[in-house]
Structure 1
Amino acid sequence: MKRYGAVIGLDAAQIAEYTKVHAEVWPDVLKQIKNSNITNYSIFLRQPENLLFAYYEYTGQDHDADMAAMAADPVTQKWWDLCMPMQRPLDTRKDGEWWAPAHEVFHLD
């Protein structure tokens, strides 16, 4: 199992809507997340900075392949089409990144 974290901004005007849609995530999106070997997935909101921090644990053998399968899923693509306009990627992210990775510096079980 490997842990992953990432950060992105959230449009202040979209906080209520983003919170609402995540209270009612589409079942097929949840199924795809699980099929991609992701567990213990959480998204946290930090205000007033309007930063989202996502955390998940990956239990599969090929993270890149599982993420590609998720990205190819039509329902997940529609979910992202809904959520991405509400998000504000960090200026410091690398080319090709949407959520900027955060690297673990401490963990206690």
Structure 2
Amino acid sequence: MQRMAMVIGIKPEHIDAYKRLHAETWPEILAMISACNIRNYSIYLKEPENLLFGYWEYHGTDFDADAAKMAADPKTQEWWDVCMPMQAPLETRKEGEWWSMMEEVFHHD
């Protein structure tokens, strides 16, 4: 199992809509997350900085392949088309990133 985390900004005028959208996440999206070996997936909001922090545990053997599978899914693409205009990627993100991946520096079970 691999723990993974990421961060992105959210436009303040979209916070309520983003919360509502995720309170009623489409069943196809939840099924695809599970099919891609992702478990214990959570997104947290930090205001007033308007940052979203995502955390999940990856239980597969090839994250890049599972991420590609998710990205190729038409329903996931539709979900992203709704979510992405609400988000504000960090200026410091790496090339090719939307959400900025984070390094784990501490963990305790």
Q: Is 1:38 aligned with 2:38?
A: yes
Residue identity opposite 2:16 in structure 1: A
1:45-64 map, 5 Å: 45-64=45-64
Task: Give the secondary structure class of the aligned counterpart of 1:80.
Answer: helix
Task: Give the secondary structure class of the aligned counterpart of 1:56.
Answer: strand
How far 1:4 sits from its partner (Å)? Answer: 0.3
For structure 2, list consecutive stretches of 5 or more residues without a partner in the other structure: none
How far 1:94 sits from its partner (Å)? Answer: 1.1
Residue identity opposite 1:5 in structure 2: A
How far 1:24 sits from its partner (Å)? Answer: 0.3
Q: Is 1:86 aligned with 2:78?
A: no
- The equivalent residue for 2:28 is 28
Root-mean-square deviation over aligned CA pairs: 0.3
- The equivalent residue for 1:98 is 98
Q: Determine the C-alpha separation between the residues in 2 that align with 1:29 and 1:103.
A: 26
How far 1:44 sits from its partner (Å)? Answer: 0.3
Q: TM-score, normalised by structure 2?
A: 0.99
- The equivalent residue for 1:14 is 14
Residue identity opposite 1:62 in structure 2: D
Output one character per residue of 1:10-69: Cα deviation in whole Å (capped at 9) or x when no partner.
000000000000000000000000000000000000000000000000000000000000
